[in-house]
Structure 1
Amino acid sequence: MTIATERITLEEFLKLPETKPASEYIEGEIIQKPMPKTKHSRLQGRFLRTINEVVEEPKIAYAFPELRCTFGGRSIVPDVAVLLWEQMEFDSNGEPLDDVLIAPYWAIEILSPEQSSNRVTKKIIHCLEHGCQLGWLVDPGDRSILAFLPNQQPQFCEGSDVVPVPEIIPLNITAEQVFSWLRMQASTTGS
């Protein structure tokens, strides 16, 4: 949903107060992300936990939820932004700096029913054009993941297909495993 009709500069956008859900600056327009619903939030939480379990302690990377990344003339907020440890900047207390001025190393977008898959794909392509090494477009509706790698055709993953992850991240996961995270209660059979 676009919330501004007249074009503003990126600098003007960055001075505006944050919105909930987050707004993004894309090609001079302010576009507010849709409010996450249960499935979206569940997948996002599991992505964060699963990735950070294997990357945080060895200081390989860190997966952030809804992290504003400003680069290439845009300011976007991927559902999950994975930054390599070496990409992060820290203050004198060892805490990460708030402003991220680079593309995420790995961007994960979880498609909401009211979102345009082409618009979300365009965000992922923008990330890849500015140094991102992997983008996932996760579609809970059809239980598929479209993986985007630099200079390659996208890979469509479903069922038992292993979904590509960056080589540096020790994770092996199938599309089926990802969508199994949506089940929170044991299924019941007829009485």
Structure 2
Amino acid sequence: MTAAPVKNLTLADFLHLPYVEESPAWEYVDGVLQQKPMPKTRHSMLQKRLLTAVDAATEDYTALPELRCTFGGRSTVPDVAVVVWERIPVNDLGEPEDHFTLAPDWTIEILSPDQKATRVIDNILHCLKHGCRLGWMLDPDDYAVFVFQSQRETEVFRGDRLLPMLEGIDLSLTAEQIFSWLQVKRR
């Protein structure tokens, strides 16, 4: 992961850099450019299963992978952004606008081994400050889900304790269930 403090680089300048949308994505936080780590197998498996589970559990929301969210002076790319359909800006053709300038309703980050938890938590807290209602940080090495909610104390979920969910998403999940998705079943 690369962090490069750049003086006099504005958010607008950052968004026009030619490599910003390269994979893995770049983020802009407090004038610092940082490239997210390239997802590994466990990360990708959890991300795929979360997207599928959330989308299957609701018609009110959509779960989007690696959606650039630019708001409140930052541009970040959550692993999964869950957004109520009505909040997605659309153009004259009824198609989504390419630039999403709101906090997601629910942000989900999957901690990578070479990623700093502090930076991930900082992005989740920024989302909550700007209207996000739920944030999860999955730690696959500890089989734990850190849960962030506005006006509530951060909690760590392990085992079979039900995780908080947004109203309108009919999904019951535990940390144990989520991390069981990492078990590869051989035929």
TM-score, normalisation: structure 1: 0.92
* Structure 1 contact 108–137 (Cα < 8 Å) conserved: yes
Q: Take 1:72 and 1:65, find their aligned partners in 2: how far apart are those partners?
A: 21
Q: Secondary structure at the match of 1:165?
A: coil
Q: Take 2:181 and 2:94, find their aligned partners in 1: how far apart are those partners?
A: 33
Structure 2 residue runs of 5 or longer lacking an equivalent are none
Match of 1:136 in 2: 136
* Structure 1 contact 138–145 (Cα < 8 Å) conserved: yes
> What is the identity, as a one-letter code, of the residue corresponding to 1:10?
L
* Structure 2 contact 6–33 (Cα < 8 Å) conserved: no
1:71-123 Cα distance to aligned partner (Å, 9 max, x none) = 00000000000111111112233321111000010000000001111111111
Q: Offset at 1:186?
A: 5.0
Q: Take 2:150 and 2:86, find their aligned partners in 1: how far apart are those partners?
A: 20
Q: Offset at 1:184?
A: 2.0
Q: Take 1:170 and 1:2, find their aligned partners in 2: how far apart are those partners?
A: 38
1:12-50 Cα distance to aligned partner (Å, 9 max, x none) = 001112221000000001100000000000000000000
Match of 1:2 in 2: 2
Q: Take 2:84 and 2:104, find their aligned partners in 1: how far apart are those partners?
A: 8
Q: Take 1:6 and 1:34, find their aligned partners in 2: how far apart are those partners?
A: 20
Match of 1:26 in 2: 29
* Structure 1 contact 81–107 (Cα < 8 Å) conserved: yes
- Corresponding position: 1:48 with 2:48: no
* Structure 1 contact 48–63 (Cα < 8 Å) conserved: yes
My pick for the range that moved more, 15-24 or 88-97, is 88-97
Match of 1:182 in 2: 182
Match of 1:65 in 2: 65
Q: Secondary structure at the match of 2:5?
A: coil
**Root mean square deviation of aligned Cα:** 1.3
Distance 1:42 1:87, change over 3 A: same
* Structure 1 contact 2–29 (Cα < 8 Å) conserved: no
Q: Take 2:173 and 2:158, find their aligned partners in 1: how far apart are those partners?
A: 11
> What is the identity, as a one-letter code, of the residue corresponding to 2:37?
P
My pick for the range that moved more, 81-90 or 100-109, is 81-90
My pick for the range that moved more, 126-135 or 162-171, is 162-171
Q: Take 1:102 and 1:93, find their aligned partners in 2: how far apart are those partners?
A: 21
Report percent identity of matched pairs: 49
Aligned residues: 184
